[in-house]
Amino acid sequence: MQTIELGRTGQQVSRLALGAMQMGNATDEADSVRILDRYLEVGGSFIDTADCYEWWARPGSRGGESEELLGRWMRDGGRRDRVFLATKASAVPAYSPDLWAADGTANWDLARRTFAGAGARTLRDALDGSLRRLGTDHVDLYYIHVDDRATPLEETLETLAGMVEAGKVRYLGWSNVRTWRLERIRGLCERNGWPLPVAVQQQHTYLRPKAGVDTASIVDPEQLDYLRANDDQTLVAYSPILKGVYDSADKRGSHWMMADYAGPDTDARIAAVTEVAAEAGVTPNQLVLAWLLHQTAPRVVPLAGPRTPQQFEDALPALDVKLSDDQLTRLDEAGA
């Protein structure tokens, strides 16, 4: 697997990151270990988790299952030094029995109103908890998971800087964040000598959100422009294939993620993906991963989050796809 520099740090990470969100819940321990071992086998190193994964999977959970599983896996095989390890804080909701309905489904409206946030004490406690579950004395990349606009940025950034100075964190990242906030973060870091976040983790795929979509989580044209102009921050793209909608017309017609994308522009881009995928001899899902891997302005690290070992195997052919200039142009120009 090829590598890419994270920001302008000199740190190389694998070109395809592995998301461990479902590990320890939807993906059981045995299958999780198979995926993780296979990822190392093909040259992967960049593994992503969070302290909140997956509180919503079962009533009463406080999250941490993914970190605990990764801690066991790294310890059992002495694998910590082979992994560039990322985790996140700020998105564990305050405990309430009302976080789950009677049928066990999560109450996301309540969760979003009670996220832990990025205050100094909250972050210090969250990091110590993550280090304990992961069984390590440091994480390589530490994200603010959900941008917290109720806490002064100065408080958050100074706290994060202290974590870096203490050696508990090597690099910083931010997720689910608007572009103006990234610019404000940049200014504060420059003025105060604090370390700048070098990774921006956002939802990003080949499809473009439809007009009127207003969310801090999905990359928009302004954010792409910002990241092109500031290549000291690398875009880490979560949900790069939108739960696999590119391979399935039925899924595109029914999956909740399509609510932000459905429309004529998406129809045209699906047609372009289908056509180029046939030419390249891969599936549309694989083609979209390959297209992301070809992006240079800004550079993109797709974050694959397979639920099963087969889903992980299905993603691997994307690493070997070479798209011509003509194919890239046709993909880029498709749609409105």
Domain locations in the chain as residue ranges: 3-246+292-324
What does the alpha-carbon distance between residue 146 and residue 156 come to, in Å, rounded to a whole number?
A: 12
Name the region of 243 (left: φ>0; alpha: ψ -120 to 50; beta: rest): left
Residue segments in the chain with a per-residue pLDDT below the cut of 50? none
- Which residue's structure tokens are 């960049």? 46
* Long-range contacts at 98-103 (CB < 8 A, ≥ 24 apart): 99/55, 99/56, 99/59, 100/56, 100/59, 100/60
Model pLDDT, residue 82: 97
- Residues paired with 87 in a beta bridge: 142
pLDDT, tens digit, for every residue of 162-185? 999 999 999 999 999 999 999 999
The whole-model pTM stands at 0.97
SS3 for 85?
strand
Distance (Å, rounded) from C-alpha 275 to C-alpha 272? 5
Residue 38, CA distances (Å) to 33, 139, 253 in order: 8, 22, 33
> What is the SS3 assignment for 299?
strand
Q: Rounded distance, CA 333 to CA 268, Å?
A: 10
pLDDT for 321? 98
**Residue the block writes with tokens 């429309």:** 263
Angle CA(204)–CA(210)–CA(212) in degrees, nearest 5?
115
Cβ–Cβ under 8 Å, residues 47 and 18: yes
- Residues 230/186, Cβ–Cβ less than 8 Å: yes
Main-chain phi, psi angles of 185, to 5 degrees: -60, -45
CATH topology of domain 3-246+292-324: TIM Barrel (3.20.20)
d(Cα 115, Cα 128) in Å, to the nearest integer? 18
Say which residues have a Cβ less than 8 Å from residue 216's Cβ, sequence separation at least 6.
147, 176, 177, 178
Quote the pLDDT of residue 336: 79
Query: 259 Cβ partners below 8 Å, 6+ apart?
Result: none
**pLDDT score of 80:** 97
